[in-house]
Amino acid sequence: MNIPCLSDTITFDANACIRYALRYGEQKALYVEQFDTFKKNCEKIGIIIGYFNFVKDQSYRNFTSAVNRFARSKKINSYTLMKFNYRCKDNLDNLFDNLTEFQEICTEAEIGIARDFFIQNQKDVSMYVQHLKSNIPEYSDIKLLVCCDNQNCNITYLVSDDSHFTAYAPEIEISPYTVSILPLRDLMQKMIQWKWI
């Protein structure tokens, strides 16, 4: 069992960043507290927590539709939605303001090799989520894996709320990639295992 340490880095995928921004009601109780506890523990140890610019762009690009889906599910009226949208955007801004920007180091050849890795290890991810179009992760997800692997560190821990990453976490763990997937939904359980809480 790997435990994050000083020679490692931490990053988040766009879905996890958006979850962090949607700090509201039971959503806050479910994810935000453990997200904050995780960040504080990493900072206490001195682990660098960062983001890649394309993940930041993707987070902002997908933000509005995520807020609208969440608002519809909670039957939030349009006035409250407007205030909620501003507050969530502030949360997202605050998250990125407090993270280190990581350099994006990857080539198209490396992305191609990583895509082949997923093709060779292809599995049915529909048991994780119904609406996925493909069992193979999207280009941006594959690029994120490669960028994480190319970090100048021992292991990059990727906190993810992406079904592809969580489905392929066991395969990534035993691959040559120096990346460990931390499903956002399992973060509390991991911190308990590591005796962080």
Higher pLDDT, 18 or 131: 18
Instruction: Read off the tokens for 100.
Output: 């280190």
Q: Computed from CA positions of residues 91, 97, 102, 106, in that sequence, does the dihedral angle turn out positive or negative?
A: positive
Q: List the strands of the sheet with 100-102, edge to edge.
A: 100-102, 48-52, 9-12, 156-160, 179-183
Helix H or strand E encompassing 71: helix 53-74
Q: What is the pTM of this model?
A: 0.92
Closest by CA to 94, choosing from 161, 169, 35, is 35
9-12/48-52 β-pairing = parallel
Instruction: Read off the tokens for 109.
Output: 């050849």
How much is the pLDDT for 137? 93
Q: Give the separation between CA 157 and CA 179, rounded to whole angstroms.
A: 6
What SS3 state is found at 23?
Answer: coil
Q: What is the pLDDT of residues 76-121, one digit of tens each?
A: 777 777 888 888 899 899 999 999 999 999 999 999 999 999 999 9
159 phi and psi, to 5 degrees? -80, 120
Q: Give the separation between CA 153 and CA 157, rounded to whole angstroms.
A: 10
Q: What is the pLDDT of residues 27-67, one digit of tens each?
A: 554 677 788 899 999 999 999 999 999 999 999 999 888 88
For the chain, which domains are there?
9-193 (3.40.50)
Question: What number is the average pLDDT over the span 170-197?
Answer: 93
Q: What is the pLDDT of residues 115-136, one digit of tens each?
A: 999 999 998 887 766 566 788 9
Q: Which string of b and e fits 8-28 if b means at least 16 CB within 10 Å?
A: bbbbbbbbbbbbbbbbbeeee
Q: Which string of b and e fits 48-69 if b means at least 16 CB within 10 Å?
A: bbbbbeebbebbbeebeebbee
